[in-house]
Structure formats: structure tokens, C-alpha cells
Structure 1
């Protein structure tokens, strides 16, 4: 009888211990959300596989499982405000605002295969030397990052409401066509091939931004400093495979430095 009671007690104790450990592990699970604009992560399909090099590195360093999900650009602000995830991978412009306005912390910035300098080129016959001279002119760009940078450059010059048009062509290949056929006066882009095509079409580059990383990983204000440092070390210390880079256009992750802060100040409202 006593032996049976001891056996049942041992089983119960083991069950309770497993429950406690399971709950603790669940509490320590790290969640990473990725905004659709990063690479080709257009939805939940394939995102876990595509970002396995990142989540594996995080899980190894943190010693806990890492879940990954995607967030639409329109819902990213809500996720930032609610703090429902531990980490968020998104455009640096949004990351900078999240840090300044909601207490999130930039953990690492991307080193990208595509250009990190947005340049403005004017079509032949348009005499402009600085973005401040774009009053009354038409400006075209392509993609969320280029549009965000261009908008903030115009804001910094006080002419964002005075340009005749600011349009997102969606497709970078359309920009040289716009210049050649007089559909726009100025193009803003970070794509080197597009810039070569614009130059071949007679356009002249008149402005360049500082180097601005395209993507950033930010940490929730609730993430401890110890875990934040572990995340930073995992991201900046991981050699990303070529397949990952091909899908996301992220070559590596780098820590935030003073030069980055100066460049990202462009996004101050």
C-alpha cells in the first residue's frame, strides 16, 4: 500500500515538474514577426523555411524555440503598439520610428545586396541641383523603401507638399521609360541597374543620400537586456547562406553604429 502510494506520488511529482518546465519553456519562447516587404515573404507559406538560418541561430543562442510569422505592412504599426511579439524584422524607416516613439530597440541592421544609397536623377533639360528645387516637378520612384526615403528627403527640404507629383511606379524597370517619354521629371532609386539605364537615357544624378540599411530587427521593450544582447550576437555573428541572401536580399546583419544613427535621423518626424 505504502509502495503504491509512493509510486503514485512520484508519478504526480514528475507530471507537475514536466508541466512547470513546459510552461517555463513556453514563456521563454521567442517570437519573430517579419513584415511582408522583406524579400519574397509574401505570406505565411514558406516563411519558416526561408528564414530558418535566422531562427536557428536565434534558437541556438537563446536556448529556446523561436516561432516565426509574417505581418502585413498595414498591420505592422499595430504589432509595434501592442508589443505582441518579441522581435520584428521590417524597414529601417519603420524601425527608427518604433524606437523613437514606442521604446522598441534596434538590435541589428541589414547589409544588403541591393543599393543602400537612394539617388535622384533628373531628365535631360530639367535643371535642378538639390531636392529643395523640386517644387512643381514630378517625381517617380518604385518600392516602399525608395518611396519612404524620397518622401522624407522632400520633407527635410520643406517641399513634400509642393512637388507636382510623387508616384510609386511599383516596377523599377518602368522608371527609365518614364524619363525617356517625359512622364516624370525626376526619378529616385537605389537600384544600380536602374541608375545606369537612367544615365543612358540622358538623366543626370544630382543628389545622393547617406548609406541607409534597408531592413532592421527591433526588440520589444519587454525583452530583457540579456536576451537582447543574445539576439544581437546571434544575428551579427551568423554567416547567412547564399540561398537566404538570394531570397531576401540580406547579405548579413550588422550592429547599429553612429553613422547609421545620423542616416536614420532622416526619418525623424
Structure 2
């Protein structure tokens, strides 16, 4: 049986983050997926990871004090940024504890989420018509008694609606759990907003369209480097702020990005 375009490039699945990166920064997508050049993340991403640690702790154990959940979150942030010289570390650290408190105050109203057999998060895998490889992801919080899936997002400034990339993520979750209501909880250090995903089917159509665009792109060549070099990075995007990403770009495209790089 002839391999499809994904398999020829060693790609056996897709994810919401993968298709969203392809839309936002196709050159970085190709650099990561086709050439195996991984890039780091900044303190804002570590802030999100750390807040989720604290909120998860407090949701699965309602007896855990908010202080203990905050301490666990800040400890995780300190671990993740221990070697970072990024100037934004202190600012992001200061946002962790208040966001954990606000997130718990909102989400503990839903009760205790269901835990997977070997993990608190539930792995999902779904195959969509027209896409030859499955989508894989992880649910943040699944409340089966309410039929609700809640995905936690952290922000510096509160959104007034679900973003398109997040809507695509939610559509994939909905396809995997067809009867579940998908909600996104946007948490900042000051407030929280919880929004229901409306019309997930329309967003799922966009997911399929993007996946098919990736497939067409991959079918142009069996050489991942050729495909990667056919694209060009947008160095004005925050995606390229990581010094390692800039270095990789210079090696692949022969480009020396202009201007200062955050963290250097």
C-alpha cells in the first residue's frame, strides 16, 4: 500500500497545535516537523503551564488549599525558568499565583473532573473524513456528569471571545466527544471568562481544510529540507523570538535576523 504524503515525511498524526502553527508560521512548522529542529518557548508559555499545574491540583483535590495550589504553580514556574535570562521572567512569575486563585474560584463550581486511568488528562484520538492521519490531543478537564469539556487558557488580557485557533482545537475535541459541550476558560491575574464553543461543525470544516492543505504541501516533494527552504520565516512574529529558533533559521535559510532577540 502506497504511503500517503504525511507518512512519507514520518508524520503519523496531526494535532490542533500543529495545524494552527502551519496557519500562523508555515516556515516554523516545516522547520520543526520536517527537519526536526525544535524551538524553545518564553516565560509567557511557562506561565501558562504553571498556572495549569496549580488549577489542576485544586480541581482534582478540593481539599487542597488555594495557597498550596499557588505554591505548586510558582514552584513549577521557577523550575521551568531556572536557566532563563529572559527579561520577562519576573513579570510572568507575578501573574501565576493570582491566576491560579481566580481559575480555581471559577472552575471548582463544576465539581471534580474525571481522571483517566493513568493520567489526569484524557487522551483523544479521532480520524476525520478526508484526512488520512488521525488527530491526537489531551483534554484539560472533562466533567462527564455535566457533559462539559473545559480547556484552560491563560492570558495577560482577557479575550472577549474564543479565538479561531482555539475554536479549531475545540472542534477536534467535539469530534472526539460528539455529545460534549466545549468551553474555554480564559484566565488572567484579574478575571476569568468562560465561553461556549458555538457551531463546532463549521470550525471542524476549517480543520479538515487546513489538514488537506498540509497534505498538498507535503506531496510537492519527498525531501523535507526542500519543502522547508521553499518557505520563508516571518521574523517579526513572536514565534521567532527564541534565540534557538533564530539560530536554526540562519542555518537553514542563511538568514541573519535583524534586531535584538528577547532573552539575549
Q: Which structure has more RCO (C-alpha within 8 Å, separation ≥ 6)?
A: 1
Same fold? TM cut 0.5: no
User: Could you tell me the TM-score, scaled by structure 2's length?
Assistant: 0.28
